[in-house]
């Protein structure tokens, strides 16, 4: 009976562990950041490490990396990180927005001007995406924001959201074994207002959640449940023989 109970514990524990792995997240150190997003990610069970510098080797310790172009910036290291399976989340001032990088990670760029605290021009959904799961997009003028006016999508990005003034807002792109998510919204920095950015933070949470262990396919669940059923049947027959 002890062996049977132990087997049940192992199998049930394996079932419970699917999708429960937390992400190890890197965040570039920058005085613009408010702790809101980092604290919320930690409360969800993730590990968040604030870094002042990084290179290709150190990035490999992270599942996801949130990059602000105002911090230390290394095109080659970020390119290698994503290609090898990492998830990169770009905030404004990243990659093509302020730098001459034009590779696979440049999804949004070429701003004509920058605005802070201006009325929200409204959002248009261009393509559906897992990044929008649980997200209730704000109506025009519902929030004040900081974003880069005149940004455009590059040819490599999958355009998801666009500001109603025509500026690019959200795109993602699979590159190698990884993914990059570009976000034209100063959602977690002190130069944006208000601090209530639950809808925009949710997009980041979805991007982070995507790097966790995948939920098993229905066939996998069925096989594990069938295994539990066989264990139960075996135990029942053993008890019947003992009682005979």
Every domain of the chain and the residues it spans: 1-20+215-244, 22-209
Which phi and psi (to 5°) does residue 152 adopt?
-130, 155
Higher pLDDT, 27 or 2: 27
Q: What mean pLDDT comes out for the span 16-36?
A: 65
Euclidean distance between CA atoms 160 and 147, whole angstroms? 16
Q: Which two tokens stand for residue 224?
A: 């594990």
Question: pLDDT digits over 85-135, tens only?
Answer: 999 998 776 555 455 667 888 898 888 888 877 788 899 999 999 999 999
User: How do residues 129-170 score in pLDDT, each as one tens digit?
Assistant: 999 999 988 888 877 777 888 889 987 889 999 999 999 999
The bridge status of strand 47-51 relative to strand 168-175 is: unpaired
Architecture of domain 22-209: 3-Layer(aba) Sandwich (3.40)
Highest mean pLDDT among 18-27, 45-54, 173-182: 173-182
Cβ atoms within 10 Å of 22's Cβ, excluding its own: 17
User: What is the pLDDT at residue 169?
Assistant: 92
Percent of the chain with pLDDT over 90: 29
Higher pLDDT, 182 or 226: 182
pLDDT for the residue numbered 198: 75
Instruction: Please give the average per-residue pLDDT across 212-240, as a whole number.
Output: 49
The single residue listed with the structure tokens 């025009």 is 140
Q: How far apart are CA 171 and CA 157, in angstroms?
A: 6
pLDDT mean across residues, the chain: 74
The predicted pLDDT at position 65 comes to 93
pLDDT of res. 240: 56
pLDDT bin (cut points 50, 70, 90) of residue 233 is: low
> How many CA atoms lie within 13 Å of 100's alpha carbon, on the beta-carbon side?
0
């Amino acid at each position: 009976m002890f062996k049977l109970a132990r087997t049940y514990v192992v199998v049930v524990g394996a079932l419970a562990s699917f999708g429960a792995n937390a992400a190890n997240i890197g965040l570039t150190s920058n005085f613009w950041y408010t702790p809101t997003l980092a604290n919320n990610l930690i409360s969800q069970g993730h590990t968040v490490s604030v870094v002042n510098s990084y290179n290709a080797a150190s990035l490999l310790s992270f599942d996801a990396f949130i990059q602000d172009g105002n911090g230390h910036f290394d095109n080659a290291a970020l390119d290698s990180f994503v290609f090898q399976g990492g998830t990169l989340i770009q905030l404004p001032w990243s990659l093509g927005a302020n730098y001459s990088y034009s590779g696979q990670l440049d999804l949004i760029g070429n701003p004509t001007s920058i605005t802070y605290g201006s009325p929200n021009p409204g959002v248009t959904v261009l393509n559906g995406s897992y990044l929008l799961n649980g997200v209730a997009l704000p109506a025009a003028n519902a929030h004040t924001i900081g974003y880069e006016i005149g940004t455009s999508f590059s040819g490599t990005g999958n355009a998801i959201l666009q500001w109603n003034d025509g500026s690019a807002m959200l795109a993602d792109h699979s590159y190698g074994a990884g993914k990059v998510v570009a976000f034209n919204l100063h959602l977690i920095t002190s130069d944006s207002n208000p601090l209530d950015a639950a809808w925009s933070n949710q997009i980041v949470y979805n991007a982070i959640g995507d790097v966790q262990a995948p939920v098993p396919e229905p066939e996998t669940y069925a096989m594990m449940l069938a295994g539990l059923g066989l264990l139960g049947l075996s135990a029942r027959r053993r008890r019947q023989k003992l009682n005979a």
